[in-house]
Amino acid sequence: MATLYPGRYTSLIEGPFVVFLIGFRINRLYAIHKWLPTARAMRPMLQELYANPALGFLGSETSLAPRGATVIQYWSTFDQLLAYAHARDANHLPAWKAFNQSVGNADGTVGIWHETYQIAAGQSECIYANMPRYGLARAGSHEPATGHLRDAATRMRP
């Protein structure tokens, strides 16, 4: 079980970073043979990324929904995210190829999506109250939200 940290905490990340949201949505529930491989594809990629910090991956959080899942990923740079996505020796390209061969753009059984955000240094803030390390607090530092880190306005100011 995750360790709970009573009180208020925040996270600091040195320099810019990238937030990458990726997910899938099941559009035809009974076509399990089509969407299950998509659902299973993310775990090996995340295991690979956690095992290789030099790739620039900082951490992730996964949220399940009735018709799919969302993974929030934190990366050091956009270039490192792109390098992983295009690396011939990584798990991503075979998963992407399998998805396109099975579902592609026309099948409609399962949808996939992603959004990428480049965050400039000092342009993020977060708060965690009575929580385990989560999100940015797992990807970056985990600091008590006291003094100049006490409120959102001062956390956003460099």
- With bands split at pLDDT 50, 70 and 90, how would you rate the model's confidence at 34? confident
Structure tokens that stand for 121 in this block: 């240094």
Q: Measured between alpha carbons, how far is 34 from 63 in angstroms, rounded to an integer?
A: 21
Q: Which band of pLDDT confidence, cut at 50, 70 and 90, is reported for residue 26?
A: very high
* Radius of gyration of the chain from its Cα atoms, rounded to whole angstroms: 18
Q: Would you say residue 158 has pLDDT above 70?
A: no
Q: Stretch 41-68: mean pLDDT, rounded?
A: 96
Residue 48 has pLDDT above 90, yes or no: yes
Per-residue pLDDT, 84: 97
* Domains of the chain (ranges, CATH numbers): 5-12+120-156 (no CATH), 17-56+65-116 (3.30.70.100)
Whether 140 and 11 have beta carbons less than 8 Å apart is answered as: yes
Whole-number Å distance between alpha carbons of 42 and 104: 17
Contact of 6 with 133, CB cutoff 8 Å: no
